[in-house]
Amino acid sequence: MSDFSSDEQGTGSDAWSGQVAVITGGADGLGLALASRLARRGVFVALWDIRSDKLEKAAQRIGAMAIAQKVDVTSAGQVQAAAAALRAKHARIDILANCAGITGKTNIKSHEVDLADFDHVMNVNLRGSLIAFQAVIGTMLERNYGRILHVASISGKEGNAGMLAYSTSKAAVIGMTKVQGKEYAETGIRINAIAPAVIRTEMVAMLPEEQVRYMTDKIPSKRCGTMEEFASAAEFIVSPRNSFTTAFTFDLSGGRAVY
């Protein structure tokens, strides 16, 4: 999945050359793992994140193939400005990976959910993904090419007890992916989602241990996924090689997914 045969037209390593990617939540975790992998393929990556300290370190870690742009994905103004600055310099955006996400308060029943926290999770996970999509889709339409990846979650398919806001937001991301993939299917733009089970990221590490145990126990493989496994799957989804599949949610669940 990570190495493309050069004798397949449009799928060799040179097919990545000159491409520009936007990675939201790129300061660490899944976003940084994917950004690092794409940079090694020759893709210039713009890391969008609200955390300045981590963001600069992430860009330095990748090197000359990365730029750090402090962006709050819930702010349409900030997102549009960052996209405009990127287009002004590179004249193209080929890839968008919406990796920014938060869990909100967890390990609580639905009647205990704080509405402000619920709104915040929906704002980042769903609305933020839509805002980023709207900021880049015009450039992709002009070139009749693009790859968009929305990071969903297995909890968006099955629901995780104690995670109402997060599960609801990720179910909505899957629904959005289905709509967008169909709307742009006749163009050269492919829009898909990925639904990981538990990946050992910093965000997961911040969850209560009983919440992590509840999620991991549901995985037939009896282990968490790795960031390398995520990056490998995500790389294919946003690659030139993925030329037909759109409006689809790829599972990365260790056997947990049932549909």
Catalytic residues: 166
Q: What is the CA radius of gyration of the chain?
A: 17
Q: Which of helix, strand or coil describes residue 145?
A: coil
Structure tokens at 33: 């793992």
From the CB of residue 212, how many other CB atoms can be counted at a distance below 10 Å? Answer: 18
DSSP 3-state assignment of 28?
Answer: coil
Nearest to 196 by CA among 2, 30, 21, 27: 30
φ, ψ of residue 215 to 5 degrees: the values are -75, -45
C-beta atoms surrounding 90 within 10 Å? 16
Query: 89, 83, 86: which is closest to 133 by C-alpha?
Result: 83
User: What CA dihedral angle connects 200, 206, 208 and 214, to 10 degrees?
Assistant: -20
Structure tokens at 146: 């693009």
Whole-angstrom distance, CA of residue 252 vs CA of residue 250? 7
If one counts every other C-beta atom within 10 angstroms of the C-beta of residue 185, the result is 13
Q: Which residue is listed with tokens 């599960």?
A: 167
